[in-house]
């Protein structure tokens, strides 16, 4: 199965998928946070040329990169 963020256009990714992934990325359970990594990567790829959107996604990546759980880092 392919991540929906890879197949959706950039606007749909950011407006509909990003808010859900944002909540997953800050969940208390590391297994839930782990699920946010792939769609956030796809969203970032689609928004890389839009600085405003990329600046909203980047802090989530940074927080996941410094996550206390080894499964997330």
Q: What is the pLDDT of residue 1?
A: 44
| Model confidence pLDDT, tens digit, residues 31-42 | 999 999 999 999
Total residues belonging to the chain:
73
- Per-residue pLDDT averaged across 62-67, rounded? 93
Q: What is the pLDDT of residue 52?
A: 92
| Model confidence pLDDT, tens digit, residues 4-15 | 888 888 888 889
The DSSP output letter for 8 is S
Query: φ and ψ at 27, to 5 degrees?
Result: -65, 155
18 exposure class (CB count in 10 Å sphere: 0-12, 13-18, 19+): buried
Query: Does the structure show a pLDDT above 70 at 2?
Result: no
């Amino acid at each position: 199965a392919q991540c929906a963020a890879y197949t959706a256009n950039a606007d749909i990714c950011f407006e509909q998928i990003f808010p859900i992934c944002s909540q997953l990325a800050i969940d208390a359970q590391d297994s839930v946070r782990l699920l946010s990594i792939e769609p956030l990567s796809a969203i970032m790829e689609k928004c890389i040329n839009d600085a405003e959107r990329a600046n909203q996604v980047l802090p989530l990546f940074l927080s996941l990169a410094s996550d206390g759980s080894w499964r997330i880092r």
